[in-house]
Amino acid sequence: MRAYSSIQNKGRNIKVAPSLLSANMLDIGRDVARVRDGGADLLHLDIMDGHFVPNLTFGPDMAKDLHTMGLPLDVHLMVSNPDSALRWFCEYADYVTIHVEATAHLHRLLREIRDRGCRSGVALNPSTPPDFLPYVIDQVDLVLVMTVNPGLGGQSFIPAMLPKIEEIRRLVDEAGLPVEIQVDGGITADNSKLVVEKGADILVSGSYVFSSDDVSGAIRNLKTPSPSER
């Protein structure tokens, strides 16, 4: 059913994960079907608690319903107590990502995510360096680099995050493990090629995809971006 397959970048499959934070909440089923049929690889669901970030979004019932829509569910937990949230979301998700800033027990929680049958992800806020990664990388399936400050949709991409993506790509390649690098925040066709060149495997895009009159074209533009401007 998908119109476009993922492009290759140095042997990596590039995926697109539309962020449902930018979907039409009054007709979310239609929007999910549009991105599914338009070539999306994942559905990105941001869970916010109003404490770790200044916003409230979805609960486990939304994850349960999205689980039936025919795309893998990528859950990003922007919450202060990820320990208690895992049991609610791992049942329905394919990926579950927690923030390094939100827990003192990162290694244990990453292992628990895997034990619950999901791929484990760790997210970094813009000001967080990736120094911790070598100590947990054997428990990680995905590293999420935030290129905006988390909590609100529609923000502009922070170019200073590009060296961080490149550094994480180096750490992952040196470890020789199949860890995917996801980038989230202000991703459009104007910057997607450069983000991929720096090492991204998965592009999370909300406003750019859902505000387009041609969703399949927007997804195609992310998967086959024009040359980057340096």
Helix (H, G, I), strand (E, B) or coil at 61: helix
What does DSSP assign to residue 190?
Answer: T
Q: Which residues contact 131 (CB under 8 A, 6 or more apart)?
A: none
Q: Is residue 230 assigned to a domain? A: no
Return the active site residues: 46, 184
- Residue 1 is assigned to a structural domain of this protein: no
Give residue 130's domain range.
8-223
Q: Does residue 179 lie within any of the structural domains?
A: yes
The mean per-residue pLDDT over the stretch 206-214 comes to 95
CA distances from 184 to 19, 69, 70, 191 (A): 9, 22, 22, 12
Total domains, the chain: 1
Evaluate if residue 111 carries a pLDDT over 90. Answer: yes
Residue 202 lies in a domain: yes
pLDDT attached to residue 90: 97
**Cβ pair 94, 70 in contact under 8 A:** no
Q: Is residue 31 part of a domain?
A: yes
| CATH assignment at residue 129 | 3.20.20.70
- pLDDT, one tens digit per residue, over 9-40 is 555 688 999 999 999 999 999 999 999 999 99
Instruction: Let me know if residue 193 belongs to a domain.
Output: yes
Query: Is 26 among the domain residues?
Result: yes
